[in-house]
Amino acid sequence: MSVDVETVRRVARLARIAVSDEDANRMTGELNAILGFVEQLGEVDVTGVEPMTSVIPMAMKKRQDGVTDGNKAADIVANAPATDENFFLVPKVVE
């Protein structure tokens, strides 16, 4: 399989990365080189093979559903580019 420039634009939109025309053209070639490389996986017979979910067999650890952390709003927003009274600020999303 290979991708065209339109597909690259669509994927970039899904990935939330702005791309210029030049970026999209360059990425099309690069992505096709990588997709060409991974194509060989198609020749492996995987009949009856389960997809890997965990390299080390282990039971999922569980704990009591209780509060173990919190009350550190100032720490949580400390690195944010824009905040107001411990809230993250973003461009207006609802008119």
Partner 1 sequence: MSDLTALTIAEARKALRDKKFTAVELADAYLAAIDRANPQLNAYVKVTHDKARAMAKASDARLAAGEGGALEGIPIGIKDLFATEGVHTQACSHILDGFEPRYESTVTANLWADGAVMLGKLNMDEFAMGSSNETSYYGPVINPWRRAKAGGQGNMQLVPGGSSGGSAAAVAAMLCAGATATDTGGSIRQPAAFTGTVGIKPTYGRCSRWGTVAFASSLDQAGPIARDVRDAAILLKSMASVDAKDTTSVDRPVPDYEAALGRSLKGIRVGIPKEYRVEGMPQEIEALWQQGVAWLKDAGAEVVDVSLPHTKYALPAYYIVAPAEASSNLARYDGVRYGLRLPGKDIVDMYEKTRAAGFGREVKRRIMIGTYVLSAGYYDAYYIQAQKVRTLIKRDFEQVFDAGVDVILTPATPSAAFGVADQDMAADPVKMYLNDIFTVTVNMAGLPGIAVPAGLDGQGLPLGLQLIGRPFDEETLFQAGHVIEQAAGRFTPQAWW
Gap between the Cα atoms of 24 and 10, Å rounded: 10
Gap between the Cα atoms of 45 and 32, Å rounded: 24
* 40 contacts partner 1 (rule: CB under 8 A): yes
* 34 contacts partner 1 (rule: CB under 8 A): yes
Three-state DSSP class for residue 30: helix
* 67 contacts partner 1 (rule: CB under 8 A): no
* 65 contacts partner 1 (rule: CB under 8 A): no
Residues 9, 16 contacting (CB under 8 angstroms): no
Binding residues for partner 1, rule: CB under 8 A, are: 1, 3, 7-8, 11-19, 27, 30-31, 33-35, 37-42, 44, 46, 49-56, 58, 60-61, 63, 72, 75-82, 88, 90-93
